[in-house]
Amino acid sequence: MVLRSYIEAKMRDRSKASGFTVIEILVAIAVLGIIVYIVAKMYSQSLVAMEVGNRRAEMNMNARAIMDFVTREMSQAVADSVLPGDFPSGDDSITFVILNSTNERAAAKVTYTLSGTDLTREYRVCSAGGYPSWNSSESPATLISGVVELEFAAMQDDSSYGSSTTNLPVWVDVYMRLRADGVANRKDAEKFDLHYTTRVALKNRARYKYE
């Protein structure tokens, strides 16, 4: 009888010890919630970082193509008293004249400028009346968006940067800074900016003269 009572008492104690209290359950739920939040936060940040990386990669590819296009076109520039350009000492706009490859008198005036955050290109051909009359241009074409800074700086004969119109500079330095859409509103957005620089040599500088 005593042994039976002892066994029943042990079983009751074991039954009580095997359960969880309400406080223990609440603590477990809170810990689980914190772990889920941390994992979700890390996952969200990784998705944002991947998207920003993809946008920067795409923008980088486009920007390099645009810089190559600007370099090739600007390297064909001509300038004299009849066909003046506007080569700045440091500005966000540049204007120059290029000639048609099959007809040296078929000129076109090209202007690259920063409009808001867009790099635009304006192209105007010579009118039927001849130089220096130019046809009215169509709306400037946007080459790339997200441009934070753009600068053209012309190097002159005296080894100093300065503007010119009727003569070609030795070269033109081009600097462009881009910012991806995904980081535009971030406080540290500047550290994600893409920087591009190139130096354009004017191949017609020593041998072109309009006659």
What are the pLDDT tens digits along the chain (211 aa)? Answer: 555 665 666 666 555 555 677 888 888 899 999 999 999 988 888 887 787 778 778 888 989 999 999 999 999 888 777 777 888 878 899 999 888 655 555 788 899 999 999 999 998 887 655 566 677 666 789 999 989 999 999 988 767 777 777 788 888 999 999 887 766 666 777 777 889 999 998 888 765 444 4
What's the number of CA atoms in the CB half-sphere (13 Å) around residue 133? Answer: 4
Number of domains in the chain: 1
What gap in Å lies between CA 167 and CA 73, rounded to an integer? 17
The pTM of this model reads 0.71
Buried b / exposed e along 30-64 (16+ C-beta atoms within 10 A): eeeeeeeeeeeeeeeeeeeeeebeebbeebeeebe
Question: What's the pLDDT score for residue 184?
Answer: 63
* N-term to C-term CA, the chain: 130
pLDDT at 185: 66
pLDDT at res. 68? 94
Using DSSP bridges, classify how beta strands 107-115 and 118-125 pair: parallel, antiparallel or unpaired: antiparallel
Does residue 77 sit within a domain?
A: yes
Q: In Å, how far from its chain's centre is CA 156? A: 29
Determine the pLDDT at residue 196. Answer: 93
Give the DSSP letter of residue 118. E
Structural element, H or E, at residue 99:
strand 93-99
Q: Which domain holds residue 132?
A: 48-201
For residue 187, give every residue at least 6 positions away whose Cβ sits within 8 Å of its Cβ, in sequence order, or none: none
List the Cα angle 135/139/143 in 5-degree steps.
120
